[in-house]
Amino acid sequence: MVGPALSESEYLSRQSAFLGQLPESSLVLIPTNPVTYRSNDTVYPYRANSYMLYLCGWSEPEAVLMAHHEASEWVTTLFVQPRDTKAELWEGRRVGVEGAALGWPVDRTCSIGKLSDCVSEFLDDCESVYYLPDLNPELDELVSRTQAVELADPTTALDDMRVIKSDAEVAMIQQSSDIASEAHIAAMRATSPGIAEWEIQSVIEAVFTARRSCWAYQSIVGGGENATILHYKSNNNRIADGDLVLVDAGCEVSGYASDITRTWPVSGKFSDQQREIYELVLKAQMAGIDACQAGSVWLSMHRATSVVLAQGLIELGILDCTVEEAIGDDMEFNGPYRNFFMHGTGHMLGLDVHDVGGGRQGDKDEGPILQPGMVVTVEPGLYFGSWRDDIEIPDRYAGIGVRIEDDVLVTADGPVVLTSGCPKTIEEIEALVGSEG
């Protein structure tokens, strides 16, 4: 039986910090994610709901965490699938009601079969219900039938907590980052001209599996022009000698994600044009990392990468305007540089790869203030897809796509790059690619 990922005291302090913000007359219902079907009776790999993982570390399906106030304190109840030999014979072992009581940080455990009866009683007695809808139809039905109670959103309070990572969470993200770094290094070493995208994917994911993790999102392995498709994931092309390959792949350890992108030449040597774009993206990425300072607004990172990229695009003769014009009036981020850098600079990272919190680059809103304990990605890129019919692509750079992405912890003493084990300078990459022989 695999227990919760973190210490009991960490979960209990999260629960009391969350519940302490709610009126005592309320009821909390956090269902986990449903099992989803891929085809006929074949299911997608199961992943528990991140709020469930955050509050009590329970990772089996068909579960609901409930909290109610009783005799001047909050009481937590975890509804889980009961032991059932016939079901376990087909689907695998379950922790069960007694196992959950022994190993998980909740006051009471109960069979999920008793959910309706039990919850109906508490719903009758509460004034508001803090509820995650659309995950558990049985609960949706129960809650919707209870007209007297006010529905409230638990995610506002929980997201404020989740956005600041504890030391134990940072340690998990570090482990995940180390495995993903190792995977990228293995893929660089195994790369030689003629390699296919799926072959690089298999090297990456073999490391994830060997280290008892799994991918946090579908691995992107884009060779040549495919590197210019932001969410490319078919990974079904052979890569021509002389092309770059862009690999965006991260894994998950006990629910915590890493998210790394590296771009390298399959031949082991950057061409002049590839080098010009790579050096520019790397310079922008370093500026973005430098901007991850406690006390700065979220948008600082995007400002920093945008200024470097816009300046570089002008110096390379790709844009013919001022930096301000390239970025857009009033730093709107909608100027012509956006033709080549069309996504944000980063996002929060944690239990979700695109974790809670953070801001949206391009909004007028400057986003939240960066604080120690936040983990963010910094991932500028430049993309010159010659297949595009919406803009003119400069011949010299046609077909090049480069993104460089690291995971960064904000601290009082400045940014700490959790993925620093993954090489990214041109010299390091040229030394590694193909070195497996």
What residues make contact with ligand GLY under the rule CB under 6 A?
Answer: 217, 248, 259, 347, 353, 379, 405
Contact yes or no for 374/356 (Cβ under 8 A): no
Q: Which is nearer to ligand GLY, 218 or 237 (CB)?
A: 218
Q: Which is nearer to ligand GLY, 211 or 343 (CB)?
A: 343
Options 14, 69, 303, 347, the catalytic residue: 347
Tell the smallest beta-carbon distance from residue 377 to Mn ion (Å): 4
- For residue 301, the SS3 value is helix
Options 38, 41, 330, 427, the catalytic residue: 41
Rounded to 5°, the CA angle 256-173-198 comes to: 70
Q: Applying CB under 5 A, which part among 27-35, 195-203, 401-409, 410-418 lies near Mn ion?
A: 401-409
Options 62, 259, 352, 407, the catalytic residue: 259
Give the 3-state DSSP-derived string for 196-262, with helices as H, strands as E and coil as C. EHHHHHHHHHHHHHHCCCEECCCCEEEEHHHHHCCCCCCCCCECCCCCEEEEEECEEECCEECCEEE
Q: How far apart are CA 143 and CA 119, in angstroms?
A: 9
> Would you state the structure tokens that stand for residue 391, as one six-digit string?
């803009």
From the CA atom positions of the chain, what is the Rg in Å? 24
Is 392 one of the catalytic residues? no
Q: Which is nearer to ligand GLY, 252 or 379 (CB)?
A: 379
Tell the smallest beta-carbon distance from residue 180 to ligand GLY (Å): 11
Closest C-alpha among 184, 121, 129, 181 to residue 152: 129
Tell me the pairing of strands 150-152 and 128-131. Answer: parallel
Is 383 one of the catalytic residues? yes
- For residue 328, the SS3 value is coil
Options 178, 182, 405, 407, the catalytic residue: 405
Per partner kind, with CB cut-offs from 5 to 8 A, the member of ligand GLY, Mn ion, none near residue 407 is none
**Residues near 328 by beta carbon (within 8 Å), at least 6 away in sequence:** 334, 335, 338
Tell the smallest beta-carbon distance from residue 273 to ligand GLY (Å): 24
Options 383, 397, 406, 430, the catalytic residue: 383
Tell the smallest beta-carbon distance from residue 346 to Mn ion (Å): 6
Task: Give the torsion through C-alpha atoms of 225, 226, 229, 235, to 10 deg.
Answer: 180
Q: Which helix (H) or strand (E) holds 99?
A: helix 96-103
Options 68, 94, 338, 403, the catalytic residue: 403
Is 405 one of the catalytic residues? yes
Q: How far apart are CA 135 and CA 351, in angstroms?
A: 18
Q: Which is nearer to ligand GLY, 165 or 403 (CB)?
A: 403
Q: Which is nearer to ligand GLY, 112 or 183 (CB)?
A: 183
Tell the smallest beta-carbon distance from residue 353 to ligand GLY (Å): 6
Is 379 one of the catalytic residues? yes
Q: How far apart are CA 224 and CA 244, in angstroms?
A: 5
Tell the smallest beta-carbon distance from residue 20 to ligand GLY (Å): 33
Per partner kind, with CB cut-offs from 5 to 8 A, the member of ligand GLY, Mn ion, none near residue 14 is none
Is 69 one of the catalytic residues? no
Is 352 one of the catalytic residues? no
Options 108, 211, 343, 396, the catalytic residue: 343
Q: Which amino acid is at 343?
A: H
Per partner kind, with CB cut-offs from 5 to 8 A, the member of ligand GLY, Mn ion, none near residue 217 is ligand GLY
Q: How far apart are CA 300 and CA 283, in angstroms?
A: 16
Q: Which is nearer to Mn ion, 110 or 353 (CB)?
A: 353
Contact yes or no for 405/261 (Cβ under 8 A): yes
Options 379, 406, 407, 430, the catalytic residue: 379
Tallying the residues shown for the chain, one arrives at 437
Per partner kind, with CB cut-offs from 5 to 8 A, the member of ligand GLY, Mn ion, none near residue 115 is none
Q: Which amino acid is at 217?
A: Y
Q: How far apart are CA 61 and CA 31, in angstroms?
A: 9
Is 108 one of the catalytic residues? no
Tell the smallest beta-carbon distance from residue 248 to ligand GLY (Å): 5
Within 10 A of 429 (CB to CB), how many other CB atoms are there?
Answer: 19
Check binding of 377 to Mn ion (CB under 5 A): yes
Site map (CB under 5 A) of Mn ion, residues 69-108, x = contact? ----------------------------------------
* Range 199-258, binding Mn ion (CB under 5 A): 248
Tell the smallest beta-carbon distance from residue 354 to ligand GLY (Å): 6
Active-site residue list: 41, 231, 248, 259, 343, 347, 354, 379, 383, 403, 405
- Residues forming contacts to Mn ion in the complex (CB under 5 A) are 248, 259, 261, 377, 405
